Amino acid sequence: MGSPTRKPTQSNSRLTADAYADGILKHDRIILSRAITLAESRLKSDQLLAEALIQKILAHTGKSIRIGITGIPGVGKSTFIEAFGKHLTAIGKKLAVLAIDPSSQRTKGSILGDKTRMDELARDENAFIRPTSAASALGGVADKTRETILLCEAAGFDVIIVETVGVGQSEISVRNMVDFFLLLLLGGAGDELQGIKKGIMEMADGVVITKADGDNKKRAKQAQADYQHALHFFPPSDSGWIPKVLISSAIEHRGMNEVWQMVDDFKTFTKAKGFFEHQRTEQNIEWFHSSIEQLLKREIMQSDSLRKKMETYERSVVNKSMTPGSASRKLVEDFFSSLPKH
Ligand code: GDP
């Protein structure tokens, strides 16, 4: 593999696939960051380069535990991840945190804003934090997070946390790319599931009641008992794993080892049953299917005339002169007729 030489045909900040792979396998964070930027790029040439890169590093992926963490804004996600992350690096783990920000999709602003999140963890040499904007007109939420996970694994990170805000669609995307899905909840915030839909509870492999300190501790313990009880009424999961409900205080650094123990127990349990690998295979199939959709959509959006047609059909959907079903069928037909005839 060569040194990071530039390839004249690419945009001038691009390296060759070999140079990216070489840097990543040497655990070079700057190259890793640049490779993630490449994978997130909408340019077709970048996409092809990123694909070539992923192919090269594939044999070095898959060895991490991938943890999804979700919860409503204010539940304490960033504080929890910082405390949990510090615990993990203290026990010798190398941690990558990929924070998905779905709000940027609509508002173009970031919920992460200017607030410096996890700044202590950010300074930890065994941690790597990467915010991922979900600002995407094309794919689903942060459709490149899967590639980013693989790149981080090849760069030697053995725990990958994917953080998302508990607002719906992004949970499902994240659930489909992680091994363990952790839901953070507040204690004493009312009996209803705090606007968290039952579906999200059902996706969780573990629940943590946050901020179990001071006056809140009693309420947190009560919530722990209530949620553990509620989980009994949920259908059993495919893995046979029974989700656990724990309590934690990120500011007092309590409960972190218990949470890690739960994740580790889950891994042991599901590996013994073959579920761990089975779930990853299923996720790859799902990735394949959603990639087909995204590639088709990207091809359509790259054509000016098709994009215009799309806008026209969208107006027809708005004024109800076309159903979404027939509008999309028409667009796909337009796409096929736009292809060169052989
Ligand atoms: P996010 O929006 O889910 O990322 O939540 P943050 O981590 O930004 O936390 C929201 C608020 O809750 C902040 O004011 C934190 O200081 C506070 N908070 C977070 N974790 C704890 C905790 O363990 N105990 C207490 N008492 N407050 C906390």
pLDDT single digits (tens) 253-263? 999 999 999 99
Atom of ligand 1 nearest to the CA of 184: 3
For ligand 1, whether the C-beta of 113 sits within 6 Å is: no
For ligand 1, whether the C-beta of 75 sits within 6 Å is: yes
Which residues on adjacent β-strands are paired with residue 189? none
Q: What is the pLDDT of residue 168?
A: 65
pTM to 2 decimal places:
0.87
Q: CA 111, CA 267: separation in Å to the nearest integer? A: 32
75 C-alpha vs ligand 1 centroid, how far in Å?
6
74 C-alpha vs ligand 1 centroid, how far in Å?
6
Q: What is the pLDDT of residue 293?
A: 86
Q: What is the pLDDT of residue 190?
A: 59
Of 72, 78, 79, 210, best ligand 1 pocket probe by most atoms within 8 Å of the beta carbon:
79
Average pLDDT of every residue of the chain: 86
For ligand 1, whether the C-beta of 73 sits within 6 Å is: yes
pLDDT tens across 11-29, in order?
558 999 999 999 999 999 9
Residue minimizing CA distance to atom 10 of ligand 1: 74
214 C-alpha vs ligand 1 centroid, how far in Å?
13
Residue minimizing CA distance to atom 20 of ligand 1: 76
What whole-number percentage of the chain has pLDDT above 70? Answer: 84
List, in order of start, the domains of the chain with CATH numbers: 14-60 (1.20.5), 62-272 (3.40.50.300), 285-337 (1.10.287)
Q: CA 86, CA 159: separation in Å to the nearest integer? A: 12
Atom of ligand 1 nearest to the CA of 82: 7
- Sign of the torsion formed by the C-alpha atoms of 104, 124, 29 and 88: negative
Residue minimizing CA distance to atom 9 of ligand 1: 76
Angle formed by the axes of helices 29-40 and 145-154, nearest 10°: 160
Q: CA 288, CA 46: separation in Å to the nearest integer? A: 19
User: Are the CB atoms for 156 and 148 separated by under 8 Å?
Assistant: no
DSSP 341: P
pLDDT tens across 61-120, in order?
999 999 999 988 888 999 999 999 999 999 999 999 998 765 544 444 444 443 457 888
148 C-alpha vs ligand 1 centroid, how far in Å?
27
For ligand 1, whether the C-beta of 71 sits within 6 Å is: yes
CA angle at residue 260 from 258 to 266, to 5 degrees?
105
Which pair of structure tokens corresponds to residue 34? Answer: 């640049």
256 C-alpha vs ligand 1 centroid, how far in Å?
15
249 C-alpha vs ligand 1 centroid, how far in Å?
9
DSSP 143: T
Atom of ligand 1 nearest to the CA of 115: 8
Q: CA 182, CA 162: separation in Å to the nearest integer? A: 10
168 C-alpha vs ligand 1 centroid, how far in Å?
21
DSSP 249: B
**Regions of the chain where pLDDT drops below 70:** 1-12, 101-116, 133-143, 166-168, 189-198, 342
For ligand 1, whether the C-beta of 151 sits within 6 Å is: no
